[in-house]
Amino acid sequence: MASNAPVGKPTDMSAPHMPKVAGIDSTVPGPPHTTAPLSGVPAAAAPSEPVSPPGALIQDRLATWVSDLTTLHELTERLIRTASLDEALREVLGAGSALVGARRGMAVLEPADGLGPASTIGLGLAHAELGTIETVPCGAGHYGRLLDGLPDPVRTEQAPERIPDPIAIRDVRTEEGLDPRHREVAARLGYAASYALPLATEEAGRLGAAVWLYDEPAEPTDRQRHLIGLYGRFATEHLARLLQVERARVQVATIAEELLPSRLPRVPGVQLAARHRTGPRGGGDWYDALPLPEGALGLAVGSVSGTGPSALAAMGRLRASLRAYAVMEGEDPVAVLSDLELLLRLTEPARSATALFAYAEPAQRRIVLAGAGHAPPLVIGERRTEFVETSLSAPLGMLSCWEAPSVELSPAPGETVLLYTDGLLRRTGDAMDRAFARLHAAASSVPRADRGDPGAVADHVLRTLLPEGLDTAVDGEDVVLLAARFE
């Protein structure tokens, strides 16, 4: 089993040695590739035939060294442009396929700390074929032995864990000690050899393993192993960084969900539905619906400036304060927002927020609402789809004293009032006037069969306005929709 360490030094060079770059050893022999390299990436050059003049031999070796450096540079540049774990794993499989000369492969992400996420990505393998490979007992498979032997990230400096060597199986049919199930799966999927590489470093610990499958008996040469070993160490560090980002994103999203209502109240005369999508860095958008005395209902949406944990904490404090003010004086939305503005200005003078609060009486189908720097609600019904005309107002915390007039509306039976945050508009990537026009068009196109369900109305607007999901180019923007259908 070969190691990824460089093998030997040139002995016929009389000039001073060139400095080692990125661990490349120019003496590792170069094999021909059995698969086409990735598009746009130069393949590692095969060594030239030895020639008698020593100078020509040196030039050939230097040319091979430069070619390897160029190949690794191109591949690592492509890798660092990936922004998600699945995307990075696919890039690793493609790059490894070009480096070791295999057509198919799979990567398994399984962090040793058990905190996840765990996933399996294939190259040239269908989902069913990946499942077939996973039926091989873990300790007998290509990657199972690596995963069993990879170290946990918790180590001591006195006794660091050793990263296991890659595992090469030159011929599945003749390899000694293979589990019969392994040979059976290989015959069914049509591969004859494999090369498994641990995705682990002493710094990152165990993240997983990658395996490439050959259609015929074969194994990487020393030079190929050396190159894939260097690339694999870089890829592991990149995957470790993406893993930290993904875990942080999941934690932020979990906190945001916990700060929002776990369920919406049931109030006679109105049906409620909410949709919340957290942005990449976690913003401070929120919604709320709370029953009030005498069968009334308070509806609110808002957004706190900033992103990350601090914005989430501020959002939680603001939402809790608004609930208290709504219980005490909810029938006057202007008073509710005025109190909220005073609290924000006194306790968090460096922060601003937008908010919209509506006091609804479902039995009378009457709504009184006030907004502070917030987008106007939409009324969606059989005969109309229109924005509610609200007065222009600055966000909370922007003026020394906030106050704006409220507006009153009376939804017809079967109409849905849609409240939303600015993130829905910003996620489109359009100018605000264009985004408002697209939102109106999306609401107008709700199918007749879906208009009786506020959740279906919200889903249709999301799908139509953001057909490709959240635009990741707009960092930190959450999306919130709160739909209330009046009977």
DSSP 396: B
Q: Taking 50 as the threshold, does the pLDDT of residue 8 lie above it? A: no
* pLDDT tens-digit readout, 461-487: 999 998 876 544 445 578 999 999 999
CA distances from 134 to 56, 87, 121, 124 (A): 50, 21, 12, 16
- What are the Cα distances from residue 425, in Å, to 280, 288, 303, 428, 461? 16, 20, 13, 6, 11
Residue 102 clears pLDDT 60, i.e. is over it = yes
Could you report the per-residue pLDDT of 331-365, keeping only the tens digit for each?
A: 999 999 999 998 988 888 888 899 999 999 999 99
Given a cut of 60, whether residue 19 has pLDDT beyond it is no
Tokens of 99: 């480096």
Question: Residue 11 — pLDDT band, cuts 50, 70, 90?
Answer: very low
The pLDDT confidence band at residue 434, using thresholds 50, 70 and 90, is very high
Which residue, 312, 304, 305, 257, is CA-closest to 282?
312
Read off the pLDDT band of 53 (50, 70, 90). Answer: low
Q: What is the Cβ-side half-sphere exposure of residue 317, based on CA atoms within 13 angstroms?
A: 15
pLDDT at 128: 93
- Give which of 260, 310, 238, 301 is closest to 281, Cα–Cα: 310
What is the model's pLDDT at position 9?
Answer: 39
Residue keyed to tokens 């922007």: 398
Query: Which has more confidence, 304 or 38?
Result: 304
Ramachandran angles phi, psi of 370, nearest 5°: -140, 145
Helices and strands in the chain: count of H runs, count of E runs? 11, 15
pLDDT digits (tens, 9 = 90+) for 249-260: 788 777 777 788
pLDDT at 449 over 60: yes
Query: Partners of 160 in the beta sheet?
Result: none
More confident residue, 261 or 20: 261
User: Crossing angle for the helix pair 333-347 and 309-329, nearest 10 degrees?
Assistant: 140
Residue 148 confidence class, pLDDT cut points 50, 70, 90: low
b/e burial code for range 347-377 (CB count within 10 A of at least 16 → b): ebeebbbbbbbbbbbbeebebbbbbbbbbbb
Spatial distance between the Cα atoms of 483 and 377, rounded to a whole number of angstroms: 10
- Three-state DSSP state, 295: helix
Q: Please check the confidence at residue 43 and state whether its pLDDT lies above 60.
A: no
Neighbours of 299 (CB within 10 A): 25
Residue 155 has pLDDT above 70, yes or no: no
Q: What is the layout of strands, in order, in the sheet containing 119-123?
A: 119-123, 104-109, 205-214, 193-201, 167-169
Per-residue model confidence (pLDDT) at position 139: 66
Lowest-confidence segment of 38-42, 172-176, 231-235, 438-442 by average pLDDT:
38-42
Whether the pLDDT of residue 386 is over 80: the answer is: yes
**Whole-number pLDDT of residue 252:** 76
Query: Environment class of residue 6 by beta-carbon count within 10 Å: exposed (0-12), middle (13-18) or buried (19+)?
Result: middle
Closest CA relative to residue 376, chosen from 351, 356, 352, 403: 356
8 Å CB contact between 247 and 85: no
Query: What SS3 state is found at 16?
Result: coil
Per the CB < 8 A criterion, the answer to whether 334 and 308 are in contact is: no
**pLDDT (tens digit, 9 = 90+) per residue, 111-130?**
988 888 999 999 999 999 99
The model scores a pTM over 0.85: no
Least confident of 46-55, 387-396, 451-460, 470-479: 46-55
Burial zone of 193 (CB within 10 Å; 0-12 exposed, 13-18 middle, 19+ buried): buried
H-only helix segments in 151-192: 180-189
Q: Could you write out the DSSP letters of every residue in 397-433? A: TSSSS-----EEE-PPTT-EEEEE-HHHHHTT-S-HH
- The domains located in the chain, with CATH, are 54-250 (3.30.450.40), 261-486 (3.60.40.10)
- Which pair of tokens denotes residue 222? 């020393």
The percentage of residues in the chain with a pLDDT greater than 70, rounded to a whole number, is: 80
Which of the pair, 208 or 257, is modelled with greater confidence? 208
Closest of 484, 232, 276 to residue 377, by C-alpha: 484
pLDDT of residue 30: 45
pLDDT at site 17 = 42
Helix (H) or strand (E) holding 367, with range, is strand 366-372
User: CA-to-CA distance for 21 and 89, rounded, in angstroms?
Assistant: 25
Q: What is the mean pLDDT of the chain?
A: 83
In the prediction, which pLDDT does 337 show? 92
pLDDT value of position 370: 92
